[in-house]
Homo-oligomer: A and B are copies of this chain.
Amino acid sequence: MQTTPAATEHDPNPADICSAPPRRHPRPDGQDSYTISEVVAFTGLTAHTLRWYERIGLMPHIDRSHTGQRRYSNRDLGFLDFVTKLRLTGMPVADMVRYAELVREGDHTFGERQELLESTRRDVLTRIAELRDTLAVLDRKISFYADGVREYEREHAGC
Contacts and interface: CB of A to CB of B under 8 A. Distances in A.
Interface of A: 74-75, 78-79, 81-82, 85-86, 88-89, 103, 107, 110, 113-114, 117-118, 120-121, 124-125, 127-128, 130-135, 137-139, 141-142, 145-146, 148, 150-151, 155-156, 158-159
Contacts of A128: 128, 131-132, 135
Contacts of A139: 121
A117 B134 contact: no
Contact of A135 (B121, B148, B151): B121
Number of identical monomers bound together in the oligomeric complex? 2
Nearest to A90: B90
A10 to B, nearest CB: 23
Contacts of A88: 127, 130-131, 134
Given A88-B130, A134-B88, A145 B81 contact: no
Interface centre among A86, A131, A159 (most CB of B within 10 A): A131
Contact of A85 (B118, B134, B158): B134
A78 B155 contact: yes
Given A128-B132, A131-B127, A156-B75, A117 B138 contact: yes
Contacts of A150: 107
Contacts of A132: 128
